[in-house]
Amino acid sequence: MKFIELPLHEQVLNGIESAGFTDCTEVQEKVLPISLNNRDVMVQSKTGSGKTAVYVLTILQSFVKAAEEGRTKPKALIVAPTRELAVQIEEDTLKLASCVKDLSVGCFFGGVGYGKQDELIEQGCDIFVCTPGRILDYQKMHKIDFREFDIFVVDEADRLFDMGFYPDIQKMFSLLRECTKRQTMLFSATLGTKVRNLAWSFMNDPVEIEVQPEEITVKAITQELYHISKSEKFSLFLRLMKKEDPENCLIFTNTKARCIEVAKRLSLNGYPTKYLMGDLPQSKRLQTIDRMKEGKIKFLVATDVAARGLQIDDLQLVVNYD
Give dist(CA 242, CA 83) in Å, integer: 34
Q: What is the mean pLDDT of residues 178-188?
A: 97
pLDDT band at 35 (very low <50, low <70, confident <90, very high): very high
Give dist(CA 277, CA 255) in Å, integer: 9
256-279 pLDDT per residue, tens: 899 999 999 999 999 999 998 877
* Per-residue model confidence (pLDDT) at position 285: 79
Give the closest residue to 73 by CA, choosing from 64, 81, 86, 84: 64
CB atoms within 10 A of CB 142: 7
* Per-residue model confidence (pLDDT) at position 216: 44
The single-letter DSSP state of residue 104 is: -
Helix (H, G, I), strand (E, B) or coil at 73: coil
Does the pTM of the predicted model rise above 0.85? no
pLDDT, the chain, mean: 91
Give dist(CA 208, CA 30) in Å, integer: 11
For the chain, domains (ranges, CATH) are 3-213 (3.40.50.300), 222-320 (3.40.50.300)
216-254 pLDDT per residue, tens: 455 567 888 998 888 899 999 999 999 999 999 999 998
